[in-house]
């Protein structure tokens, strides 16, 4: 690789990466987890793991920003109440991005699949995951420090599934309905993408030309995914979260 500014790939490979990013954007727009497609595809294109994660943050920011905008326009994001979780998501992801460049991620890769399998089982069997609001179990500041910051750290450090973790904790810990939680999760995921992208950009490990190209495809896919999530609600989001969580766990185990 000559430079992180430009990374040449054959036209056919670029088209394939854009198609993957478009599909991943749809998944991200609904339930999160698009990184499980993007990061391996970027590595197959020749990027090393850290550069692949960093470039995925660039294109992922396009997709999550697109989905966030769609949910915000529908009035499904609580900006005032989410300000502290959003801020700590950014901070956590920045720390995670710094750590990712200093230590290997083998430990997280080992434990995350089993956490995801447990979450998938919970989502599949829980009758509480509906569009109805439930009792909030944690104060917002506690949620921000105890969950939003660590999930942001994970997203900056490793990535795939960060949006899914945000979604599940918003439902289970803050009692939010499934569709509203999906919208607020996009906001928090946008924060974690932006925070880690800043660190990776300053470190010079983002392939800007490639990330911008596939970012446009991710942007388009995420708009479709967000509209599907808002129109179908829990009937679509809940089963897709299960599928994404299991697929992520299997991908990481393999």
pLDDT tens digits, residue range 59-86? 999 999 999 999 999 999 999 999 999 9
Mean pLDDT of 10-27: 86
One-character DSSP codes across 151-215:
HHHHHHHT-TTHHHHHHHHHHHHH---HHHHHHHHHHHHHHHHHHHHHHHHHHT---HHHHHHHH
Residue-level pLDDT at 64: 92
Do residues 77 and 71 lie in contact, with contact meaning Cβ atoms separated by under 8 Å? yes
Q: Answer with the residue of higher pLDDT: 114 or 221.
A: 221
Do residues 42 and 206 lie in contact, with contact meaning Cβ atoms separated by under 8 Å? no
- Please name the helix (run of DSSP H) or strand (run of DSSP E) that holds residue 15, with its range, or none: helix 11-30
* Separation between Cα atoms, residue 222 and residue 220, nearest integer Å: 6
Q: Tokens in use for 31?
A: 């339930």
Residue-level pLDDT at 127: 63
Mean pLDDT of 195-216: 93
Mean pLDDT of 91-114: 78
Mean pLDDT of 165-170: 89
* Separation between Cα atoms, residue 88 and residue 93, nearest integer Å: 8
On the question of pLDDT at 3 being above 50, the answer is no
On the question of pLDDT at 164 being above 90, the answer is no
- Structure pTM? 0.83
pLDDT in tens, 128-152: 556 667 788 899 999 999 999 999 9
Of the pLDDT bands very low, low, confident and very high (cuts 50, 70, 90), residue 229 is confident
């Amino acid at each position: 690789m000559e430079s992180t500014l430009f990374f040449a790939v054959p036209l056919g490979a670029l088209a394939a990466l854009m198609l993957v990013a478009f599909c991943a954007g749809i998944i991200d727009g609904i339930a999160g987890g698009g990184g499980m497609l993007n990061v391996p595809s970027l590595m197959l294109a020749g990027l090393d793991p850290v550069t692949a994660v960093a470039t995925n943050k660039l294109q992922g920011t396009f997709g999550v920003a697109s989905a966030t905008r769609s949910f915000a326009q529908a009035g499904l994001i609580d900006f005032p109440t989410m300000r502290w979780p959003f801020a700590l998501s950014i901070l956590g992801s920045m720390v995670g991005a710094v750590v990712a460049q200093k230590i290997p991620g083998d430990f997280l890769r080992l434990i995350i699949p089993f956490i995801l399998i447990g979450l998938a089982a919970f989502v599949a069997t829980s009758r509480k995951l509906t569009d109805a609001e439930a009792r909030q179990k944690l104060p917002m500041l506690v949620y921000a420090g105890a969950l939003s910051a660590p999930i942001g750290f994970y997203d900056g450090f490793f990535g795939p599934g960060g949006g899914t973790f945000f979604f599940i904790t918003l439902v289970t810990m803050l009692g939010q309905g499934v569709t509203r939680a999906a919208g607020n999760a996009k906001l928090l995921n946008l924060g974690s993408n932006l925070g880690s992208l800043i660190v990776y950009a300053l470190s010079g490990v983002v392939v800007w030309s490639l990330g911008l190209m596939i970012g446009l495809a991710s942007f388009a896919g995420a708009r479709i995914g967000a509209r599907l999530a808002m129109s179908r609600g829990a009937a679509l989001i809940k089963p897709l979260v299960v599928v994404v969580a299991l697929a992520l766990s299997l991908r990481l185990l393999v």
